[in-house]
Amino acid sequence: MCGFYGFVDFDGNIRDVDEHEIKAGANKIAYRGPDDSGCFLDDNVIIYFRRLSIIDLEAPSQPYTNKKKTVTMVCNGEIYNYMELKRALQLKGYKFFSKTDTEVILYGYEEWGEDLWAKLNGIFAIVLWDAEKKKLILVRDHLGVKPIHYFHKDRRVYFSSDYNSFFCQSYSKIQNNNDAILSYLSFRYVIGKQTFYKDVYDLEPGQSKTFFSKGSNSNYYWDIPTNTDKVDKGENYYLEALNSALKTAVKRQLMSDVPVGAFISGGLDSSTLLYYMHSISPNIKSYITGFEVPGYNEFYFADLIAEQLGITPRKLIIDPEEYAGMIDEVIGYRAEPPSIPHEAAFLKMSRFMKNEITVVLSGEGADELFGGYGRIFRSPHDYYKQKWFSGKHKTMIDHFLWRYSWFNDEDKSSMLNKDFIANGMFDQYSLMYIKSLFKKFNDNDYYRAMYYIQGKLHLPNLLNRLDRMTMASSIEGRVPFLDIDLVNIVSTIPIKYKLRWNNFSSKLKSIFYDSEIISEKYDTPKYILKKLMNNKIPPEIINRKKMGFPVPLDNWFNDSLKDIAYSIIFDSNSYIRNIINVNNVKSLLNKKDYSSNYDYFGKKLWMLMNLELWYKKYF
């Protein structure tokens, strides 16, 4: 795991100050790679690299250049199938100078060109400069575990693992992108390629982008499969396939020359990973954090799985004052408003873990693969029921936006300035992006569409949080549920094995209820994963309701966070006063008692705080 920063100037107009600025930008994100550094310069390119040593600790730092001096590359990530690729390349006569996994990218590109990307199993953000063909190639892993950003201005392309680096260049001033705010309030982050900064873009998961002297083009070398098996192969077949794929994925991702541990929560996903990890490496270390508020602590369930496996989890508690004090720091590592309330807890835990490990395995991806967000994955039921019984016919997109948006239309109308939402409740780019995702599906495919949409829309945000908060402490986060072979297998499993009605009677009763009531009462989310883990992990974990690492924001806004939020949001010089309806937000903040499902009140106020703190810090 590493960090990089560099640029290509296709006209070869390298200034004296450029090397200093690129080095400064790489050093600004030295937390991503504190162990070593390297640099490459030629007439068109400057790249600085910061290394976090995971495989072959004595190997020289990237950038790596081939023997012909025609191809130079850097990669942030891990290639789990590198030994297979290395053997294939050695048979073709390639000689390797290190035992690193990323060196296979250099010769793999020489041998297979851009067909290489689809051959990789791993988490990666790749930059490749082909000096012979004068082209720059950026590549991001299949599901977006590792980030890569680019800033395209005139005939220059800057690229980095972290937005913070771009503020170290003087070629063009970085400006904020107001259009991103509605995306953030709607989806908790800025979706698609758009970012909080003008002319700065995210490479999307499964995408490669090539820049030439006279333009650029993009290609999606992989996408989330959307077709389940047409012939049902039976529950036992899928259980065996899932068991085998999970074992293989976990074994691959334990590959390391440094200590490895596990994030645990006491939930199904992390307990599943811990079970498989322990079967391969019995002395695995595990870590959990929580809050001293009833209903917001999962230590009891973490202890159940730990006791069964004979291990002792490391536990951390975070209090509201400490949490509030860390928000600005979290923003500094993200260089954007945080999206998920527990990021401060992730950061604190990552710092604690760094004393013992450098690689951590985490359970992201299981919810999106197996239908874990029961209320969301069952919400097509509401759509079809409304369509059939009321005669009303919203489109799938309209229904999804109404159901999924964090700030819904009513919230925006109440809490935002009318001038700010004069052109609509969503920014045009986000609407266009959502529509592009739904294009693959017709009206009868809403259930199937939901798995694809969650993988494309919800998952990248969770992965971004994992990467930013672990790398802030120089820890590599890995996600075995997103092993590409495992994803391809799970995607073929019929939906009835993922989100399953409890029985025929439950399915009949569901006619009278909506997804909020149905979920986990009349159906079973993640059915096949739960069935797989029967007799492997404690039944209390398998049968418990989903919790999802909540933060007691309503509780805290009743107390210590209220005054902090008030001083931030309503400061006389605050940027956000130009965006919000001041009177309505004050009324919400002045409520005597917050008590909302899933801490919705607290989360919305928290997001407004984030926006203001981010803007103050960067502009």
Which tokens sit at 388?
A: 């059939």
Helix axes 582-589, 600-618, angle to 10 degrees: 120
pLDDT at 124 over 70: yes
Residue with tokens 């909302």: 596
pLDDT at 594 over 70: no
Q: Which pairing describes strands 359-361 and 476-478: parallel, antiparallel, or unpaired? A: parallel
User: Which amino acid is residue 589, in one-letter code?
Assistant: L
Residue 369: strand, helix, or coil:
helix
Section 47-69 average pLDDT: 94
The CATH 3.40.50.620 portion of the chain extends over 235-373+448-543
Residues 6+ apart with CB under 8 A from 234: none
Check residue 109 and report its DSSP letter. Answer: H
pLDDT value of position 391: 67
pLDDT value of position 296: 80
pLDDT at 597 over 70: no
pLDDT at 559 over 80: no
Element at 376 (helix H, strand E): helix 374-377
pLDDT value of position 195: 98
pLDDT at 508 over 80: yes
Check residue 347 and report its DSSP letter. Answer: H
pLDDT at 591 over 90: no
Beta carbons of 140 and 148 less than 8 angstroms apart: yes
| Dihedral sign (CA 529, 294, 325, 351) | negative
Residue 213: half-sphere exposure toward Cβ, Cα within 13 Å: 9
Beta carbons of 538 and 309 less than 8 angstroms apart: no
pLDDT at 550 over 80: no
pLDDT value of position 389: 79
pLDDT > 70 fraction of the chain, expressed in percent and rounded = 98
Choose between 443 and 168: higher pLDDT. Answer: 168
pLDDT at 548 over 80: no
pLDDT tens digit string along 453-505? 999 999 999 999 999 999 999 999 999 999 999 999 999 999 999 999 999 99
pLDDT value of position 276: 98
Neighbours of 432 (CB within 10 A): 11
Helix axes 268-280, 299-309, angle to 10 degrees: 20
Assign 292 a pLDDT band (cuts: 50, 70, 90).
confident
pLDDT at 18 over 90: yes
For the whole model, what pTM was predicted?
0.95
What's the CATH architecture for 2-220? Answer: 4-Layer Sandwich (3.60)
Which tokens sit at 120?
A: 């990789």
Element at 360 (helix H, strand E): strand 359-361
Assign 293 a pLDDT band (cuts: 50, 70, 90).
confident
Rounded Cα–Cα distance for residues 16 and 58 (Å): 33
Roughly how many angstroms between the first and final C-alpha of the chain, as a whole number? Answer: 30
pLDDT value of position 357: 96
Which of these ranges, 267-276, 321-330, 531-540, has the smallest mean pLDDT?
321-330
Check residue 477 and report its DSSP letter. Answer: E
Which one, of 278, 350, 268, 345, lies nearest residue 307 by Cα? 278
For the domain made up of 235-373+448-543, the CATH class stated in words is alpha beta
Choose between 119 and 549: higher pLDDT. Answer: 119
Residue 160: strand, helix, or coil:
strand
pLDDT value of position 595: 67
Section 142-169 average pLDDT: 97
pLDDT value of position 430: 96
Section 145-150 average pLDDT: 98
Assign 203 a pLDDT band (cuts: 50, 70, 90).
very high
pLDDT at 554 over 90: no
Which tokens sit at 74?
A: 């850097």
Rounded Cα–Cα distance for residues 115 and 248 (Å): 24
Section 412-424 average pLDDT: 93
pLDDT at 210 over 80: yes
Rg (CA), the chain: 24
| Dihedral sign (CA 596, 599, 603, 605) | positive
pLDDT mean across residues, the chain? 94
Dihedral-angle region of residue 476 (phi above 0 means left; psi in -120 to 50 means alpha; beta otherwise): beta
Residue 197 CB burial class (10 angstroms; 0-12, 13-18, ≥19): buried
Residues 6+ apart with CB under 8 A from 389: none
The CATH 3.60.20.10 portion of the chain extends over 2-220
Beta carbons of 483 and 245 less than 8 angstroms apart: yes
Residue 610: half-sphere exposure toward Cβ, Cα within 13 Å: 28
Three-state secondary structure string covering 190-242:
CCCCCCCECCEEECCCCEEEEEECCEEEEEECCCCCCCCCCCCCCHHHHHHHH
Rounded Cα–Cα distance for residues 415 and 413 (Å): 6
Choose between 526 and 387: higher pLDDT. Answer: 526
pLDDT at 546 over 90: no
Q: Which residues pair with 72 in a beta bridge?
A: 65, 129
Three-state secondary structure string covering 559-591:
CHHHHHHHHHHCCCCCCHHHCECHHHHHHHHCC
pLDDT at 392 over 80: no
Check residue 545 and report its DSSP letter. Answer: P
Three-state secondary structure string covering 164-177:
HHHHHCCCCCCCEC
> What Å distances lie between residue 144 and 85, 138, 187, 262, 371, CA to CA?
22, 13, 17, 20, 19
Task: Please give the angle made by the CA atoms of 401, 225 and 144, to the nearest 5 degrees.
Answer: 70
pLDDT tens digit string along 126-137? 999 999 999 999
Section 330-347 average pLDDT: 94
Rounded Cα–Cα distance for residues 612 and 504 (Å): 51
pLDDT at 152 over 90: yes
